[in-house]
Amino acid sequence: MKGYAVYRQEGRKGGRIQINEQLLSPGETVYYDTVPGPGAYIYCVAAVDSSGNEGLSRPAVGEVLDIFPPAAPTGLQVVADTGSIRLAWDVNPEADLMGYRVYRTVGANHDDNYVLLNAAAIRETRFTDSLPRNAKNFFFYKIAAIDSSYNMSKYSDAGSARMPDAVAPREPFITGVVQETKALRVDWLSNAESDLTGYHIYRFQPADSMGTLIRLNNSLIKSEMHLFTDNRVEKNVDYRYFLTAVDSAGNISAPSVPYDGVFMADESCLLEIKRIKVAAKKDGTIRVSWRVDAGNEADYQGCILYRKNAPANVFKAMTILSKATGYTDKFGQDDSLFYYQVRAYGQDGCAVKSEVIEIRK
C-alpha cells in the first residue's frame, strides 16, 4: 500500500474533494482539517496502492459549530417623540447575521435591569418603542446582534432619551373670592402635579362686555401659593376670576371654573338711586333715565351707566363719570336685548348700584 487519501464533502449535495495534497504514509491514522466555516462535513478515507487503486471507507459526518458571536452593533441613536422613542443603528457586517435584539431599562443604566423588547430578532436597523404619553422617565437602550447559530454579541453602547412632556396639569379649582379691607382675595386648592411650577390668574375687565381678559400676575405665581390678592378693585363692581396651572415643560392647563366676586361698598354710604327708567324710541334708540338721592350733594361725584347684551357678559361702561341723569343709547342694528345698570359714586369712595333693567328692542 502506498498511503491514504482524505476526502471531504460539504453537505449531502456538495462535491467530494481530496484535501491532503500528499498521500498520508501507511503508518499515519490521524489528519487535521481546517474548514472554511461552520457546518456539516462528510469525510471518507481511501487506501491507495502503488498502482493508484483506491479502497474507500464508509463516510463519517463531522459538524463544526459556530461559537463566534457577531460584533457589537455600533452607531446607536435614540430620538424621543411624543408617545414614542425611535432607535436607529449601523448595519452589522456578518454574513450569517440573523438580526438584532433590543433591550431597555428605566431610570439608570444598569446592565442587570435591561429587559428584551422584541421576542423575535429583527432584520431592520431601526425600532420604535411606543410608550404612554405621560411617561416622564429616562429610558436607556442597548442593541445586541445575533447570528444563525444564536450566538449573541455584546451590547452596543447605551443610548438614552426622555419623552417630551406633552401632558398639561389639571385645571385648578378656585374655592372662593373673599373681600378684604381694600382688596379681593382669590383662594384655590393647590394642584398635585410633581412638576408644577406655578399659576396664572386672570380677571374679566368689568367694563368690557366682549369678555377681554387681563392677567393680574406679572410673574408666575409660585406652585406652593394658593391665594392671590387683587388690590386693583373698585367698589360695587362685579369681577370674574379664573386660573391656569403651568408645569416645568411649559404646558398650561385648561382654565379653572370661573368664580365671581364683588368688592361691596361701605353700608354707611348715603347714596341712593331712586328710580331708573328705560324706554325704546321710535327712531330705534333707547332712552335711559334715573334719579340719585345724594344726601349731601357735596359728597356726590356722579354716575356711570353700564350696559351688556347677555346675562353672562360683563357690563360695559357707556358713559363717563358725571352728574347727568339720562342717556340716549344708539346701538347696533343686530342687537335686540339689553341690560342696563346705573352706578353712583361718592367722594369718600362709596358706590351703589341700581337694579338691572332689561329691555328688548
CATH of the domain at 296: 2.60.40.10
**Confidence class for position 209, pLDDT limits 50, 70, 90:** low
Please check whether residues 131 and 182 belong to one and the same domain.
no
Please check whether residues 155 and 183 belong to one and the same domain.
no
pLDDT at residue 140, as a whole number: 96
- Name the residue range of residue 104's domain: 77-162
Please check whether residues 47 and 29 belong to one and the same domain.
yes
pLDDT at residue 179, as a whole number: 80
pLDDT at residue 267, as a whole number: 57
- Residue 150 lies inside a defined structural domain of this protein: yes
Please check whether residues 250 and 288 belong to one and the same domain.
no
- Residue 148 lies inside a defined structural domain of this protein: yes
Cβ partners under 8 Å of residue 89, min gap 6: 73, 74, 75, 76, 77, 100, 125, 126, 143, 156
Determine the Cα–Cα distance for residues 182 and 230; give it in Å rounded to an integer: 9
Please check whether residues 249 and 289 belong to one and the same domain.
no
DSSP 312: T
pTM of this structure? 0.47
- Residue 314 lies inside a defined structural domain of this protein: yes
Please check whether residues 279 and 317 belong to one and the same domain.
yes
Please check whether residues 50 and 126 belong to one and the same domain.
no
3-state secondary structure 59-76: CEEEEECCCCCCCCCCCC
Question: Taking the C-alpha atoms of 197, 200, 201 and 206 in order, what is their torsion angle to the nearest 10 degrees?
Answer: 180
pLDDT at residue 221, as a whole number: 96
- Residue at a domain's end among 135, 162, 189: 162
215 contacts 222 by C-beta, under 8 angstroms: no
Please check whether residues 279 and 322 belong to one and the same domain.
yes
- Residue at a domain's end among 12, 29, 64: 64
Determine the Cα–Cα distance for residues 262 and 202; give it in Å rounded to an integer: 15
The three three-digit cell numbers of residue 196, written as one number: 408644577
- Residue at a domain's end among 136, 162, 188: 162
- Residue 346 lies inside a defined structural domain of this protein: yes
Please check whether residues 258 and 277 belong to one and the same domain.
no
Instruction: Give pLDDT tens digits for 187-196.
Output: 999 999 888 9
**Confidence class for position 160, pLDDT limits 50, 70, 90:** very high
Determine the Cα–Cα distance for residues 328 and 343; give it in Å rounded to an integer: 17
DSSP 322: B
